[in-house]
Amino acid sequence: MGVTGAKKDILSAVYDKHSDMLFRLALAQLGNSEDAMDAVHDVFLKFFDVQPDFRDGEHERAWFIRSTVNRCHDIQRHKKIRSHPSLDEIGDVAAHGDEREATRQLYRALSALPEKYSSVITLHYLEGFSVEEIATMLRITQSGVKMRLSRGREALRRYIETEEE
């Protein structure tokens, strides 16, 4: 059964709008590009199958983020892994040279953190979402987001200090 032109256009537009952000979020949680691509692919298949009705763009974005986080949890459970520092194929996320190495180090550090910290740090600092938006998307309180940001920054600092030694 083929995809109609209108559905294809909608899927293409939504994919263009959200895929990069979702990939970075999944990569920060899963630690490798293959699993991250699989998670994003699965989320878009779910979107296509379910065809949810969104109130607005904010609701749409929150649905994609929540679905990606949930899919990452499923993948982690299936593989029985919680974190792994190998991010050899992060190269296409960064532009080039020293920036690429800095990006590798950042994602390596993020993947070493517990998911609850890496997801809020990724959403806030890399994707630019506010504390209020993250709280809504992840269905936690704003103070919970602030606490996770604080603890996540501290965990990142400790990780970086350990790596430098």
**Residues 6+ positions from 14 with CB-CB distance below 8 Å:** 44, 47, 60
> Mean pLDDT highest for which of 24-33, 61-70, 154-163?
61-70
14-23, 83-92, 107-116: least confidently modelled range: 83-92
The Cα 160–Cα 15 span in angstroms is 34
**CATH code, domain with 140:** 1.20.140.160
Model confidence pLDDT, tens digit, residues 42-85? 999 999 888 888 899 899 999 999 999 999 988 888 775 444 33
Number of domains in the chain: 1
Q: Which domain holds residue 111?
A: 5-164
- Do 20 and 28 contact (CB within 8 A), yes or no? no
pLDDT of amino acid 97: 53
Instruction: Tell me how far apart the alpha carbons of residues 134 and 117 are, in angstroms, rounded to a whole number.
Output: 12
Q: Per residue in 100-147, pLDDT tens?
A: 777 777 888 888 889 899 999 999 988 888 999 999 988 899 999 999
Is 163 in a helix, a strand, or coil?
A: helix
pTM above 0.85, yes or no: no
Please give the Cα distance from 22 to 63 (Å, whole number).
11
